[in-house]
Homo-oligomer: A and B are copies of this chain.
Amino acid sequence: MSIKILIVDDHPLVLEGLKSLLTDCEGIEVVGTASNAIDAISFLKTNEVDIAFLDINLPDISGIDLCKKIKEQYPNVKTLALSTFNERAYVSRMIQNGASGYLIKSSGKEDILEAIRQVQAGGYFMNVNFDQATSSAPPKTVPFLTRREKEVLILIAEGLTNPQIAEQLFVSVTTVNTHRQNLLMKFEVSNTASLIKLAAGLGLI
């Protein structure tokens, strides 16, 4: 019996690429693909799946939430996060939500097969060998940001001032300022310029 795989990703290229890589393999069968969370859930309703590959960024809900939902409704389905290099920060939350590991989208065929083997055997797989020429990207760890902090960060990056952000979010200026100070603290910087540069480098904005 071959391992049944569902791939959920909104990038046709990734979908096709994974499918193409996996269909040649013994004992592995791609039984379905979905480009959003809704389709993924409804596919699971009517099909048996062993492992679901979940993109972290999906058009409707995030892969992180989707992972949680799948684990709640279909605890037997193992999940593997698909992330880009810049999204490794979010991986830990996928794991918290029950994922069995993660694959960087730039992984090679061997990594992918190894991941499937590990996960199917009940283990975890984290591919940590970022061989990419990280160039100038500082190996900083991405600080954990709350929902509100992310919102504020994005609005700052868009050039809004505290008063404007406050208006947009329907909160007081002091609240925005607090979030802002927390962002500076978490990123270990002392002004907006450094903050935005770091956040941009990490792909957060």
A interface residues, Cβ below 8 angstroms from B: 10-21, 57, 59, 84, 86, 105-109, 131-133, 135-136, 156-159, 161, 189-197, 200-201, 203, 205
A132-B59, A135-B158 known; A13 vs B12 contact (CB < 8 Å): no
CB neighbours (8 Å) of A106 from chain B are 10-13
Q: Are the C-beta atoms of B194 and A13 separated by less than 8 Å? A: no
A196-B197, A201-B200 known; A159 vs B11 contact (CB < 8 Å): no
Q: Are the C-beta atoms of A109 and B17 separated by less than 8 Å? A: no
* A198 CB → nearest B CB, Å: 9
CB neighbours (8 Å) of A191 from chain B are 159, 161, 192
A/B interface sample: 9 pairs, CB < 8 A: A11-B106, A12-B17, A12-B21, A13-B13, A13-B107, A16-B20, A17-B17, A156-B193, A196-B196
Name which of A17, A19, A200 has the most chain B CB atoms within 10 A of its CB. A17
* A116 CB → nearest B CB, Å: 14
Per a CB cutoff under 8 Å, which of B131, B132, B189, B196 touches A193?
Answer: B196
Q: Are the C-beta atoms of A158 and B136 separated by less than 8 Å? A: yes
Q: How far is the CA of A196 from the CA of B201 in the complex (A)?
A: 11
Q: Are the C-beta atoms of A193 and B12 separated by less than 8 Å? A: no
Q: Are the C-beta atoms of A159 and B10 separated by less than 8 Å? A: no
Q: How far is the CA of A203 from the CA of B132 in the complex (A)?
A: 14
CB neighbours (8 Å) of A194 from chain B are 157-159
A12-B109, A59-B132, A132-B59 known; A193 vs B159 contact (CB < 8 Å): yes
12 new A-B pairs (CB below 8 Å) besides A13-B13, A157-B197?
Answer: A10-B132, A11-B106, A12-B109, A13-B106, A16-B18, A16-B20, A20-B20, A156-B193, A159-B189, A159-B194, A192-B193, A200-B200
